[in-house]
Amino acid sequence: MKGYSTFSLIRNALGGHRFWKPVWRTPELKDSYDVVIIGAGGQGLATAYYLAKKHGIKNIAVLEKGFIGGGNTGRNTQVTRSNYFWPQSSAFFDYSLKLYETLSLDLNFNVMLSQRGVLNLVHSHHEFEGLRRWANAIRINGVDTDIVTAAEVKEIVPLINMNSRFPVHGGSIQRRGGISRHDAVVWAYARAADAHGVDIIQQCEVMEFAISNGKVTGVETTLGKISANQVSIAVAGHTGVLAGKAGFRVPIRSMGLQAMVSEPIKPCLDTMLTSPVIHMYVSQSDRGEIVLGGGADVYTSYAQRGGIPLLEENVAALLELIPAFSRLRLMRQWSGIVDITPDTTPIMGMTPVQNLYISGGWGTGGYKAIPAGGDTMAYTIANDEPHSLIADFGLDRFERGVLIDEGAASGVSH
């Protein structure tokens, strides 16, 4: 794999950047692979990379109906943290954060991890007590989290209005949390997987599965039939569609999740700020934009929320907390389709179809899980048994009633 050294950057700059080689190939689709992975988002590409690198399986295709990273991986708000409540989630997401901490070096691609802290606010004494319990559980899980007083919140976010309609009582911070650059993460994995011989085929949609005697034997795509020994589904909001085609159901609700950015301004917010109660989270990107989001577009019998009204709610929440941002202009707004499980924990591992695997149910939080998701799914495929870190995340937990209720997994409710 070509390295990006200071020397190569200078040499290419002097050449007017005309001599860079494409960072991945555009290979011809073969009619047979050892492993086919559906979906070239972060999860699919990382799985392919670790399969090739750690397990020596080289004859792999990643099939993508659109373009690399064009799904949720290229649309998310880049929050990276591991302050989860249950031991299984903590262990998995903290492993992911640890992999993120060395990812730029490992993949020789700057993913711009900025561990600026993730600060959760609370707005009442009662909520503060709940937060203490949550923070204690996280610490017992061995993950860093500190309780901060109202005065400390003001120090961390000088622009904050402490006496809004919901006065700030304090919060908790995971200082190792933060953001990284989502395009860089997905491109880094694509480049590294390609360098290990993985064929990444864009504009190739999987339409059907070939299944014989309960075992997957290949896929039918818009570019033709492909046979495969093993197939893995990593398609986020489309998981329910593909599971249905393979003949099984997943307990997933797919819905929109929106975000928006303002025009760029000078650095003024150097943490990732979340208020589950006021219902928004905000950070400042490396380009200076204020990045803002909230919960998913949930439609329930008692409330219809989504689209522009939800964006208005998020903006109103932001302005309650940081009134100075009222003078900013919004530049862009977008949405992705996320796949939410009843316990907001991912579905990973085996499926009822032999040799068919699944990585889905990521909901609003699968970006931070890309390195660990890829690594553990690669192990699972290579050994045809779940990696110990994801053993409890299997689809069968819904039959057995052993849910891992990470209701606060997203930071803001949905």
Ligand X SMILES: Cc1cc2nc3c(=O)[nH]c(=O)nc-3n(C[C@H](O)[C@H](O)[C@H](O)COP(=O)(O)OP(=O)(O)OC[C@H]3O[C@@H](n4cnc5c(N)ncnc54)[C@H](O)[C@@H]3O)c2cc1C
Query: By the criterion CB under 6 A, which residues form the site for ligand X?
Result: 38-44, 63-66, 70-73, 75-79, 205-206, 234-236, 238, 242, 257-259, 293, 336, 338, 362, 364-368
Q: How far is CA 175 from CA 97, 273, 368, in A?
A: 12, 12, 15
Helix (H) or strand (E) holding 359: strand 356-360
Q: Are 347 and 334 in contact (CB under 8 A)?
A: no
Helix (H) or strand (E) holding 304: none
CA distance 296 to 303: 13
Q: Is 258 or 380 the residue whose CB approaches ligand X more closely?
A: 258
Q: Are 184 and 113 in contact (CB under 8 A)?
A: no
CA distance 189 to 212: 32
Lookup: tokens for 206: 């999987």
CB of 360 to ligand X, least distance (A): 7
Q: Is 52 or 272 the residue whose CB approaches ligand X more closely?
A: 272
CB of 377 to ligand X, least distance (A): 10
CB of 69 to ligand X, least distance (A): 7
Q: Is 44 or 170 the residue whose CB approaches ligand X more closely?
A: 44
Q: Which position has the token pair 């990470």? A: 406
CB of 109 to ligand X, least distance (A): 17
CB of 99 to ligand X, least distance (A): 13
CA distance 330 to 263: 6
CB of 68 to ligand X, least distance (A): 8
Q: Which position has the token pair 């504009």? A: 203
With CB atoms as reference, the residue minimizing the distance to ligand X is 41
Lookup: tokens for 352: 């009822």
Lookup: tokens for 172: 């908790």
Q: Is 78 or 380 the residue whose CB approaches ligand X more closely?
A: 78
Q: Is 51 or 169 the residue whose CB approaches ligand X more closely?
A: 51
How many degrees, rounded to 5, is the angle at CA 137 between CA 135 and CA 141? 115
CB of 15 to ligand X, least distance (A): 33
Q: Is 169 or 216 the residue whose CB approaches ligand X more closely?
A: 216
Q: Is 119 or 169 the residue whose CB approaches ligand X more closely?
A: 119
Among 201, 331, 318, CA closest to 261: 331
